[in-house]
Structure 1
Amino acid sequence: MDPSAPLKRFYKTVAVEQDGDGFRVTLDGRQLKSPAKRSLLLPTKALADALAKEWDAQEEHIQPLTMPMMALASTAVDRIGELRDGVIEQIAKYAETDLVCYWTDEPKELAERQAKAWMPYIDWAKETYGAEFKTQTGIMHVEQPENSVRAIREVVEGYNDWELSGLSSATHCTGSILLALSLTEGRIDSAQAFEDSQVDETYQIELWGEDWEAKDRRDVIKKDLQSVVDWLTLIRD
């Protein structure tokens, strides 16, 4: 049997059941588990309903790429649930080299776009978290204030495992913890997060055009950022 072959749909019915303070999805009456075979006790009925809808929509074969809520739930349980401290460290480390802190000086038009898009995030971090960030032109590393990095880490530590799953995805998509926090805190929407994380790429596309690989990559980022917004709505419902 080829382990890479798509998994056939092995169930007929999908349902949602309450279990104490949480909710479970069942497939033919059996509780749905994570890929690592861990319990999937979901925090809200809205999230359970969304997962059930994804599983019910599968046809002859199961297509994981069409199940973003299941992917985020699996991350929360299998990765964050087991490696929470490491995930927090990984996310918070973006504060040391955040995208919005590295600007260009040439061409002038791109530099102006970066300043317009990114300075509001730096100002917001100072106003909201008391975290001051330095900007740098070029690729040379700029050392950020230790207390600022610590402040961002404390914010990340305050997220529960379900929220961390969304924050982790948003941080990796944008390359910026400040952008990701702005998204997860509801300050910006997914379209704005995409636009502001892609300032350099969009500028280059305007100059030279967009190949299919770049388009596919950008489309995935757009979808993933919207999935984070949907996820946060569902877990906070």
Structure 2
Amino acid sequence: MWRNLVRLQCQARLAWSTRQSRRARFAVLQPATDLSTATSERKKFYQDVSISQREDGLFEINLDRRKLKTPGGKLFTVPNEALAVAVATEWDTQKDTLKFYTMHLTTLCNTALDNPTQRDKDQIIMASLKFLETDTICYRTEEPAALVELQKNEWDPVLNWVEKRYNVVIGSSSSILGPQIAEETKDTFRQHLGSFNFWALTGLEFVITQLKSVVLSFGLIDRHLTVEQAVLLSRLEEEYQIRRWGNIEWAHDYDMYELRARTAAGTLFVHLSSESSTIKRKLMQD
């Protein structure tokens, strides 16, 4: 699964590069000072990337002999070797220009380390649960009939799975108000989200935000859905309209690749942040 997630991130890099080149015709990019800025770029200033473990067990990323730091000035440290290797790989695969908007794992680590909004776990959980009340697959259309049938065929199986998996009732509605989510359901999901550590929860909220769906995100994290499936289901109505009316040349594919890359990175981040075992350094050479 990890190899597939990494592949999706790499697949998006070319799309992003081309898209940024097109945007450059209309706007001049300012020099980047914040590594989390989505459109920032900077000339590459290092040759070698390595990781090292500290006495407290945390891992650092080294660019030549420099220790990587966060935009907030903190030493960039991650909780395990698996995540360190993944982040180091993002830096190692950069070419002459650092394209920070492709380095989603690095950005997620920066968010977890700097915590710019100073939120705790409970606040992140609360923000994540708000998406349950407006979950993408719970809002159904009343027409056209073909789209109604498509939503039923594609979304219902996932909704049924998550209800059975967590022993909850969610339902769906064609009303603008959406379904009424029972407090028992919210409490169950609140407890489940609370089982994640702060880092993994940061990644999970990122995935939920990308898909606009708690249900699809749980299906993805629990490996019931692949990234491709989750992204397609989150864009079901848009894909239906595109098949019916056509799409703008190149824009649709770039948007799809970007969403896949972000979703894949968030999912990988959740799993790696929950990883307790170490891996051989040989993976850095594979």
Give 1:121's aligned residue.
Answer: 158
Secondary structure of 1:62's match? strand
Letter of the aligned partner of 2:93 in structure 1?
A: A
- Alpha-carbon RMSD: 2.2
Give 1:17's aligned residue.
Answer: 52
Determine the C-alpha separation between the residues in 1 that align with 2:175 and 2:243: 21
Within a 5 Å distance, the mapping from 1:172-183 to structure 2 comes to 172-183=209-220
**1:200 maps to 2:237:** yes
TM-score relative to the length of structure 1: 0.88
Give 1:69's aligned residue.
Answer: 105
Aligned-pair CA distance for 1:69? 1.6
Post-superposition Cα deviations, 1:179-229, rounded to whole Å, max 9, x if no partner, equal: 011111222110110121111011000100111444432221122122233
**1:230 maps to 2:268:** yes
Secondary structure of 2:42's match? coil
Classify 1:93/1:80 alpha carbon distance in 2 versus 1 (closer, same or farther; 3 Å): farther
Secondary structure of 1:169's match? helix
Give 2:18's aligned residue.
Answer: none
Higher relative contact order (CA 8 A, sep 6+): 2
Determine the C-alpha separation between the residues in 2 that align with 1:118 and 1:71: 31
**1:31 maps to 2:70:** no
Secondary structure of 1:136's match? coil
TM-score relative to the length of structure 2: 0.75
Secondary structure of 2:113's match? helix
Aligned-pair CA distance for 1:3? 4.6
Aligned sequence identity (%):
29
Give 1:217's aligned residue.
Answer: 255
Determine the C-alpha separation between the residues in 2 that align with 1:208 and 1:202: 10
Q: How many residues align?
A: 236
Classify 1:10/1:209 alpha carbon distance in 2 versus 1 (closer, same or farther; 3 Å): same
Within a 5 Å distance, the mapping from 1:43-192 to structure 2 comes to 43-79=79-115, 82-84=118-120, 85-192=122-229
Aligned-pair CA distance for 1:102? 0.9
User: Larger deviation: 89-98 or 77-86?
Assistant: 77-86
Determine the C-alpha separation between the residues in 2 that align with 1:97 and 1:150: 17
Unaligned runs of 5+ in 2: 1-29, 33-39, 278-286
Classify 1:39/1:86 alpha carbon distance in 2 versus 1 (closer, same or farther; 3 Å): farther
Letter of the aligned partner of 2:168 in structure 1?
A: A
Determine the C-alpha separation between the residues in 2 that align with 1:127 and 1:39: 43
Post-superposition Cα deviations, 1:134-154, rounded to whole Å, max 9, x if no partner, equal: 311142333211111222122
Post-superposition Cα deviations, 1:24-53, rounded to whole Å, max 9, x if no partner, equal: 111233321222222332122122122222
Determine the C-alpha separation between the residues in 2 that align with 1:117 and 1:76: 34
Letter of the aligned partner of 2:266 in structure 1?
A: V
Post-superposition Cα deviations, 1:166-185, rounded to whole Å, max 9, x if no partner, equal: 21221111110010111112
Is the CA contact (8 Å cut-off) linking 2:201 and 2:270 kept in structure 1?
Answer: no
